[in-house]
Structure 1
Amino acid sequence: MSPAEIRDEIIDILSEIAPDEDLSNLNDEQSFREQMELDSMDFLDIVMELRKRHRIQIPEDQYGELASMASTVKYLEPKMADI
């Protein structure tokens, strides 16, 4: 997947987890938690959805890599290159 496709996939996951959030003005450099009403369970839902959809395992000690859209795309790009 390209970075743009990964971003679109993350937007899709976020729209399912937080359907009331306006994701059209999401700042890719700012953390999700600063921009959205996400709690730790919502964050785990993102991780679980990535596992379910793409069989991507994200170790708990690397969850911090998914703090913002930019860092998430950068982290997932090599893991999703063959998808």
Structure 2
Amino acid sequence: MSHTVQNKKSLITRVRRISGQVASLERALESDEGCDAILQQAASIRGAVQGLMSQLLEDHLREHVAASNPKAMRDLEPVMAVLRSYLR
């Protein structure tokens, strides 16, 4: 079973939250909100998408790269730490 199927509920929740943030940004643009609010919403969306990407990458590495190999999993931990910090 794929990791996206195993974590389907969590992933869909994240995507729906991002969708709500994008809709809110659209409303803010349509109602001529101030640029501070719009920039903040755009930054929040970027963070949410990067969080989703981080979760997907980590799950992929665990499931497909290091599956059933404890040494590979240990070797991947520093790589995942770099990815986490890069995607923040």
Task: Normalising by structure 2, report the TM-score.
Answer: 0.28
Q: Where is the helix percentage greater, Structure 1 or Structure 2?
A: 2
Q: Which structure is higher in RCO with an 8 Å CA cutoff and minimum separation 6?
A: 1
Task: Normalising by structure 1, report the TM-score.
Answer: 0.30
